[in-house]
Amino acid sequence: MTFAPALRAEWIKIRTLRSLMWGLLAILLATAAFSALASLDDSGDPDFDPLFSAFFGVSFGQIAAITFGAQAVSAEFQGGALRVSLTAVPDRMRWFAAKAVAIGVPAFAVGLFTGGVSLVVGEAVLGDRASGLTWDDELCAVIGCGIYLTLMALLAAGLATVLRSGVATLSILIPFLLIVSFVVGNASGTVADFLPDKAGQVVLHETWDGSLGPWTGLAVTAAWAAAVLTAGAWSLRRRDA
């Protein structure tokens, strides 16, 4: 089977699994809801960043994104589904590439839409406090939101391929994002800036004092995702289905 039919087959799997479609919807709902709540804060913090307030919900939407990526892959390791997939597409790297694209494209589409909705909702709640944001800031953040959520979904997909378990993948990534990264997150200018989530979320800030910029931060997150996907491809090639 060539790449195009393999990709079509993988997309059919995703859109026919209700849990995965709900996972994509959860990205939008979680991000928009928590962005609206964060934008309600009018405590007068001198370090207040209106752009990040509008996109604060991405910190929670990314949990849905990694859940989507992990579940899309882990389903292949249940009930012998992977053997069936590799019977249809014997070239394992072609199959894995099709799987990654089938995960990445809808994640990007939903992430981009989520970014637009979060911006509109966040600015509506912020009111005059968002008046200083420029069109460039907003466009950069919306596009960056789509790219970031896609990269996190792909990172989870790669790790799920290595671990062959969605539960194990989420057991590692969710505590990391919610606890480990949060604890060291204030250590700006150090190795914390190069954590996959902290680096990628620079694009969602109006100003940032760390060592990375918006696009270099996303490049760091992309490097993490590429490294984990490479490990997943190696694992898939070396281990039995």
pLDDT digit string (tens) for 112-159?
999 999 999 988 888 877 777 888 889 999 999 999 999 999 999 999
DSSP state of 128: G
Q: What is the DSSP string of 43-95?
A: S--TT--HHHHHTTTHHHHHHHHHHHHHHHHHGGGSTTHHHHHHHH---HHHH
- 8 A C-beta contact, residue 202 and residue 210: yes
pTM: 0.92
Domain boundaries, given as residue ranges, for the chain: 3-238
| pLDDT interval class at 185 (50, 70, 90) | low
Q: With 90 as the cut, is the pLDDT of residue 180 above it? A: no
Instruction: Output the six-digit token pair for 55.
Output: 């996109």
pLDDT digit string (tens) for 8-61?
999 999 989 889 999 999 999 999 999 888 777 766 666 778 888 889 999 999
| Mean pLDDT score, 221-235 | 96
